[in-house]
């Protein structure tokens, strides 16, 4: 059983409302004190390298200036982050995007808007290696 | 249980119990109808801390009083209460009248609105269209604009076309893309 409070997390998201929800879920409801949030993907690798290596990176897919796929590629090119779990967060309900997320190397995907009660379970399942591609309810 | 025991139970609640009810399981099994009514009273307590803690306990009790309380909480001005209410109604009242959610939508807190819109879309009730149309121009969050446009694309017809066309030039790339998809989904005009 993973101790979710023991991990370091990074969330990259340019939508303020989504950031607020994540703070509420991870910070308050899950009691995680090790969540860092970037409010866009500019200078991403430079900022990432300034942090302790995160166990989990949660990436919004549709953000600027680099979208989630581009950010994923940057991370995967740096061997320091080989063991980091990278999860896509998307409001898309299109099946082709699910296929793309899987093929490009994300470890899982969770649909936005997020549910307080469902998110911790989905996160835990992804960390346990289960196939979670939770795009459409 | 006596009210003093209920209050002790409420005071024992932590935020983590919202997502992991394990320690509450035994206490919840012992609750009777009178206890549930007491908890519902505490939800409306002036003390906001006690209010959300009571709501967390109630959220794990499948009872008519719980459902009625949660309907009221959908519009609560508190960061958790609306979400707790939404999850509880989804869990225990999957056939809840969609009008409960449609009516709550304009008054609910911003973080809950995208979830309400997604539910309304899934339930496919066209009575939500006027509410969605009113909310869309006020939506500052790209996530909320996106979910509303997506719902209008599924639920709407030609009457929403002009409104959605206004979003094909939205600042947000994803909203623009969703507006284009929604326009394709709408029934073609017979004019």
Tens-digit pLDDT profile for residues A69-111: 999 999 999 999 999 999 999 887 566 778 889 999 999 999 9
Question: Is A61 in contact with A89 (CB distance < 8 Å)?
Answer: yes
Average pLDDT over every residue of A53-64: 93
Cis amide leading into B68 (omega within 30): no
Query: Can you give the residue range of the structural domain that contains A103?
Result: 4-134
**What is d(CA A75, CA A83) in angstroms, rounded to the nearest whole number?**
11
pLDDT value of residue B16: 78
- For chain A, give the mean pLDDT: 91
B18 vs A contacts (CB less than 8 Å): 29, 116-117
Average pLDDT of each block of 10 consecutive residues along chain B (191 residues)?
A: 82 82 82 93 83 91 95 92 94 93 96 95 92 96 94 92 95 90 78 44
**What is d(CA A53, CA B25) in angstroms, rounded to the nearest whole number?**
37
Q: How near does any CA of chain A get to the CA of B9, in Å? A: 18
Q: How near does any CA of chain A get to the CA of B111, in Å? A: 6
pLDDT value of residue A59: 96
**What is d(CA A16, CA A70) in angstroms, rounded to the nearest whole number?**
21
**What is d(CA A7, CA A120) in angstroms, rounded to the nearest whole number?**
13
A116 vs B contacts (CB less than 8 Å): 18-19, 80, 83-84, 87
For CATH 1.25.10, list the domain ranges present in chain B.
1-96, 110-191
Q: Which residues of A touch B (CB under 8 A)?
A: 15-18, 20-21, 24-25, 28-31, 62, 64, 91-93, 112-113, 115-121, 137
Q: Judge: domain B110-191, CATH 1.10.10.
A: no
- The secondary structure of residue A110, as a DSSP letter, is E
pLDDT value of residue B191: 44
**Could you tell me if residue B151 is left (phi over 0), alpha (psi between -120 and 50 degrees) or otherwise beta?**
alpha
**Out of A31-40, A88-97, A126-135, B123-132, which region has the weakest mean confidence (pLDDT)?**
A88-97
Q: The domain that contains A46 carries what CATH number?
A: 3.40.50.2300
**Are residues B147 and A28, on separate chains, in Cβ contact within 8 Å?**
no
- The secondary structure of residue A117, as a DSSP letter, is T
Average pLDDT over every residue of A2-13: 91
B111 vs A contacts (CB less than 8 Å): 17, 20-21, 24
Q: Judge: domain B1-96, CATH 1.25.10.
A: yes
Structure tokens at B102: 């449609």
**Are residues A17 and B150, on separate chains, in Cβ contact within 8 Å?**
no
pLDDT value of residue A13: 95
pLDDT at residue A126 is higher than 90: yes
Scan for tokens 């500052």, then name that residue: B140
| Residue in B18, B110, B174 nearest the CB of A116 | B18
- The sign one gets for the Cα dihedral A97, A103, A105, A111 is positive
Average pLDDT over every residue of A13-34: 92
Nearest-10 Cα torsion for B58, B61, B63, B66: 20
**Are residues B15 and A29, on separate chains, in Cβ contact within 8 Å?**
yes
């Amino acid at each position: 059983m993973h101790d979710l409070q023991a991990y370091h997390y990074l969330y990259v998201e340019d939508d303020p409302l989504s950031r607020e929800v994540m703070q509420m879920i991870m910070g308050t409801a899950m009691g995680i004190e090790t969540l860092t949030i970037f409010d866009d993907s500019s200078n991403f690798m430079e900022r990432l390298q300034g942090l302790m290596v995160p166990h989990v990176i949660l990436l919004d897919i549709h953000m600027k200036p680099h979208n989630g796929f581009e950010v994923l590629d940057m991370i995967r090119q740096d061997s320091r982050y080989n063991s980091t779990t990278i999860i896509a967060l998307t409001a898309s309900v299109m099946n082709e995007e699910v296929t793309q997320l899987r093929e490009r190397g994300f470890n899982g995907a969770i649909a936005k808007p997020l549910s307080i009660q469902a998110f911790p379970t989905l996160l835990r399942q992804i960390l346990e290696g289960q196939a979670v591609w939770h795009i459409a309810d | 249980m006596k009210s003093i025991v209920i209050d002790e139970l409420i005071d024992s609640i932590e935020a983590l119990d919202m997502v992991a009810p394990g320690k509450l399981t035994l206490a919840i099994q012992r609750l009777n109808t009178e206890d549930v009514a007491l908890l519902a009273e505490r939800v409306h307590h002036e003390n906001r801390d006690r209010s959300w803690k009571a709501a967390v306990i109630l959220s794990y009790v499948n009872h008519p009083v719980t459902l009625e309380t949660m309907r009221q909480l959908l519009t609560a001005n508190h960061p958790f209460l609306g979400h707790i209410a939404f999850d509880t109604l989804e869990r225990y009242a999957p056939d809840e009248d969609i009008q409960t959610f449609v009516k709550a939508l304009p008054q609910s807190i911003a973080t809950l609105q995208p979830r309400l819109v997604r539910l309304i879309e899934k339930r496919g009730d066209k009575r939500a269209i006027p509410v969605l149309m009113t909310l869309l121009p006020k939506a500052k969050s790209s996530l909320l604009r996106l979910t509303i446009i997506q719902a209008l694309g599924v639920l709407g017809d030609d009457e929403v076309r002009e409104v959605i066309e206004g979003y094909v030039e939205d600042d947000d790339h994803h909203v623009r893309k969703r507006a284009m998809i929604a326009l394709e989904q709408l029934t073609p005009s017979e004019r």
